[in-house]
Structure 1
């Protein structure tokens, strides 16, 4: 008798615990036929629509979205990926903006670095032009040697001909190098121009975030 009573108590307790656990998850929705359905688990009839999970008090705990097809899930994942990439780009843009402001806190600093950068390229061009002038002088000396063979250029020694070829090749290299450096100057100027456009916006935003002095605020 005592054993039967104990078993009954255990069964009733377990059933009560299970009912309590089930009561903690209450789902409700309106199906495609307009019927309001309530259950203790996600409702199969409403898998294509939003269901509400209720607290024990009857308030909405959360909303469970409709189940997606494989194609819909793929589209949603692609959308989420695009959104994540957009957030990453936005964060990177903000990081670059902060770095740009730290590097160039004012227009004067930016202008000074532009001058230095262009001057460095000019120095390289100057050195190349000097080398070109040296090659031109070498070419004059070589041409003077060739005057001895003006009547019969075919008798000019191979070494002299090789000097001409090397001089012409070196001169061509220097001319191409100077052209490249002139293009580099344009790229440097363009970079500073683009930075300045962005910096003007950042400087304006920064200045706008500074509160006015107390005296002007009173006025």
Structure 2
């Protein structure tokens, strides 16, 4: 068989494959996908062709009419970038859902400013109670120090002759007072943090309360009505 015969045979075989593919598509009522791959070969299949994801494909109907053009699909790098973007969008949607949930909880807990003021006062009262306990302890330590100072009067001329136990108690007393004063300073900061938290919360609540009191427009009324069904 000559080379020409081999070529003719190959062409006839390729044509037979295409005709067979179209015949199957017509019988099934499906589609035929066709493209030219990166090597210049024309490919045909009954589903999107993996070898042509990076280039345009055509979807043909059973009669051979072009239904649509597909692609090219994204490259691996583009798919990775798209996945990163999708995750960011999912995270943002989740954040917004969580924010809406937190807002509902907040307005349910504080339906008005009076309720918010009550809880602020309770939080400050707790700090004040702890502060009062520390101040009481400082007063006790100062009374204790007076007793130590009375004992030290006997050693006024030469404090080094005072018993070691007395001097140790005085040092411990001074350390305890310093520690309580440091604690009181921390409680002052805590009170400021409590007020700041409630101030920030109140600013947000004012907006939420205003939104709740705002009249429902026609555009907003439709989703609201649908949600109640």
- Give the alignment of 1:1-219 within 5 angstroms: 18-20=24-26, 23-26=29-32, 40-42=46-48, 47-48=53-54, 64-209=70-215
Give the TM-score taking structure 1 as reference length: 0.73
Q: Is the CA contact (8 Å cut-off) linking 1:23 and 1:40 kept in structure 2?
A: no
Let me know the Cα RMSD of the aligned residues. Answer: 3.6
Unpaired runs of 5+ residues, structure 2, are 1-20, 36-43, 218-229
1:55-113 Cα shifts (integer Å, max 9, x gaps): 8799x999855322221111111111111111111111111111111110111100111
Residues 19 and 51 from structure 1, CA distance in 2 versus in 1: closer, same or farther, beyond 3 angstroms? closer
After the TM superposition, list the runs of 4 or more consecutive aligned residues in structure 1 that deviate by more than 2 angstroms.
15-23, 25-29, 38-58, 60-66
Give the structure-2-normalised TM-score: 0.70
**3-state SS, counterpart of residue 80 of structure 2:** helix
Q: Deviations over 1:32-74 (max 9, x none)?
A: xxxxxx974436897446767688799x999855322221111
